[in-house]
Structure 1
Amino acid sequence: MSLSTAFTELFGVEHPIALAPMGGSAGGALTAAVSRGGGLGLLGSGNGDRDWLARELPVLTAESAGKPWGVGFQAWAADVGAVEWTLEHGPAAVMLSFGDPRPFAERVRDAGVTLIVQVTDLEEAHRAVDVGADVIVAQGTEGGGHGARHGRSTLPFVPVVVDLAAPVPVLAAGGIADGRGVAAALALGAAGALLGTRFQATTESLVDRATAHAIVAGRSEDTERNRVLDIARGSRWPAKYTARTLPHPFLDRWRNQEAELATDAQAGQSYQEAVARGEIPALPQWAGEAVDLIDDLPSAADLVTTLAAQAEAALKRACGG
């Protein structure tokens, strides 16, 4: 059984699997490994920091073996100049998430680069269609890291976006960590799946080893969507987007007290001091609800192949094969 879809045909990749462009995790080595494995690697540039991009892009281009790759930006935080500068480096795609894609969309299309827009609700999905997205990522609330505070679960959200966006191909995201999840995405009408947490737990990920091992040991019931850690570390993430993380001492202390935390200057200072002392991770440990399915730290290239084989086997079983 071949897993050829509109997504694989669009990019000329072997498998309908993409790397979520996770800031702090999806650096050049991880992005290149996913692309070498037959998926689409997406570099997690976040706000488009030039120094970070200048460090990671050469790694990516050197290790991608000529395979297609892309770069992801947080639309609320990036500036047009960073996107234009990145386009000069020859990405096959630019992905925009969390915010209005309109200031960037025309520049991406004018460069002849595929435009991917991630959406977390139907308003964002309609806007992605209106700006001419070539691919839309429908992200459910089960996903790790940032997502809609009042979004929908992946299972009911993806087919609605598939119908709304047709014939634009849609990738499913949120709570997918093995090939069965990829197969489920295809059954929902998606052209592939975008995975984040699963790729954090790989040898090429930029997360520190303690975080990678915490993901391997993590349980779904331990993950929690919150704004506490963004507020505590002084992040300017819009309130619409909360983040699903593993347990954290500051979350235990300030749960359901976001307003009080935001006005407590001592709390922010205490957070930074605890980071400096090594008592808490420098970044929250982002993880989705499918974290239970992660039990190893493979190479990302090998993982793509494994996910594709698992997906094919799952679809054969579903068809009685």
Structure 2
Amino acid sequence: MALSTRFTELFGVQHPIALAPMGGSAGGALAAAVSRGGGFGMLGAANGDPEWLARELPLVAEAAGRPWGIGFLTWQIDVGAIERALEHQPRAVMLSFGDPSPFAERIRVSGTLLIIQVTDLEEANRAVGLGADVIVAQGTESGGHGARKGRSTLPFVPVVVDLAAPVPVLAAGGIADGRGLAAALALGAAGALLGTRFQATAEALVDPSTAEAIVEGRGEDTERNRVLDIARGSRWPSKYTARTLGNRYLDQWRGREAELAADPRARQEYQHDVAQGNLPSLPMWAGEAIDLITDLPSAADLVATLAVQAEDALDRAGRR
């Protein structure tokens, strides 16, 4: 059976699968591969760095004729970043983490679809009010940044589905195989947005050691923290923590965030260890579902595999 949903119809894609626009790993090659595979690929533009976009946008053009999008960290951008993105005519722009109000109307009047990611019901209500075309409901199982006091994907998604109707909702957080996609559809979502699973692909912009750590890791090896943001000098709003794989620096400072923030020498030691190769250059963002990730396929092949797995899971559930 075909997995046709409001999302696939609105975006003109084959499968209800979207690539999370992960800063630092969702580059042009990965976004293009997801779109070629029949999903919806999105560039992870983060703060909209012009040099990064100039390098990665031509790569996503390989998906010519296939819909693609671009995502930003809302708290980190200005209108100029949105304008530069719209020049390349993406099918959609996704805004995450922060107030999307200053940018929503500019995106909508361009005819570009607006995707807003939400981590709580206050954000979900705001997204509906701003006229989002798609809402991503992110649970706390997700890798990378998310709400410090958020809710798990399973109970959060159907609440947002009911609140946002008839706006289609994508489920995010802890989804790494077709069974997770099937579960999202059963919850009323129109598809799923996957991050960590696509980091472990041939096209992802991640260090090989990070991809290997994801393949070998377990969900219990991940945890939400602010330690690594503080150590990096990142200005992420305190509302959002990041789920990462552990390392010795995190072990050293866990529960001592205020002390770390007040100790410039400790932060310098972190930067020194990164420069010496003793710590990864970026935290290893990873969600709770990494137990399900056991290989490093092409992203295009992965999209097809996820769709088949989801169809099989739904078929089995129907027979029961």
Structure 1 residue aligned with 2:81:
82
Once the two structures are superposed, the pairs formed by residues 137-286 of structure 1 within 5 Å of their partners are: 137-286=136-285
2: CA distance between counterparts of 1:202 and 1:312?
22
2: CA distance between counterparts of 1:299 and 1:31?
12
1: CA distance between counterparts of 2:169 and 2:127?
11
Once the two structures are superposed, the pairs formed by residues 121-132 of structure 1 within 5 Å of their partners are: 121-132=120-131
Q: Per-residue deviation at 1:65? A: 3.3
1: CA distance between counterparts of 2:82 and 2:274?
31
2: CA distance between counterparts of 1:240 and 1:48?
22
Counterpart check, 1:53 vs 2:47:
no
Q: Which amino acid aligns with 1:7?
A: F
Structure 1 residue aligned with 2:22:
22
Structure 2 residue aligned with 1:35:
35
1: CA distance between counterparts of 2:258 and 2:14?
47
Q: Per-residue deviation at 1:222? A: 0.6
Structure 2 residue aligned with 1:314:
313
Instruction: Summarize deviations over 1:61-80 as a string: whole Å, max 9, x none.
Output: 1x113200000000000111
Q: Per-residue deviation at 1:268? A: 1.1
Q: Per-residue deviation at 1:250? A: 1.3
Instruction: Summarize deviations over 1:46-105 as a string: whole Å, max 9, x none.
Output: 0111111111001111x1132000000000001110111110101000000000010110
2: CA distance between counterparts of 1:268 and 1:229?
10
**SS of the residue 2:46 aligns to:** coil
Instruction: Summarize deviations over 1:204-228 as a string: whole Å, max 9, x none.
Output: 0000100000000000011000000
Q: Per-residue deviation at 1:170? A: 0.1
1: CA distance between counterparts of 2:161 and 2:286?
25
Q: Per-residue deviation at 1:153? A: 0.1
Structure 2 residue aligned with 1:109:
108
Q: CA RMSD in A?
A: 0.6
Name structure 2 gaps, 5 residues minimum. Answer: none
1: CA distance between counterparts of 2:276 and 2:262?
24
Q: Per-residue deviation at 1:201? A: 0.1
Q: How many aligned residue pairs are there?
A: 320
Identity of aligned residues (%): 77
Q: Per-residue deviation at 1:181? A: 0.1
Q: Which amino acid aligns with 2:96?
A: S
Q: Which amino acid aligns with 1:217?
A: E
**SS of the residue 2:319 aligns to:** coil
1: CA distance between counterparts of 2:164 and 2:220?
33
**SS of the residue 2:76 aligns to:** coil
Instruction: Summarize deviations over 1:230-288 as a string: whole Å, max 9, x none.
Output: 00010000000000000111110000111110010001110111011000000000000
Q: Which amino acid aligns with 2:44?
A: G
**SS of the residue 1:235 aligns to:** coil
Structure 1 residue aligned with 2:98:
99
1: CA distance between counterparts of 2:263 and 2:65?
50
Instruction: Summarize deviations over 1:98-135 as a string: whole Å, max 9, x none.
Output: 00010110010011000000000000000000100000
Name structure 1 gaps, 5 residues minimum. Answer: none
1: CA distance between counterparts of 2:267 and 2:58?
35
1: CA distance between counterparts of 2:285 and 2:145?
8
Superposition TM-score, scaled by structure 2 size = 0.99
Instruction: Summarize deviations over 1:270-310 as a string: whole Å, max 9, x none.
Output: 01110110000000000000000000000000000000000
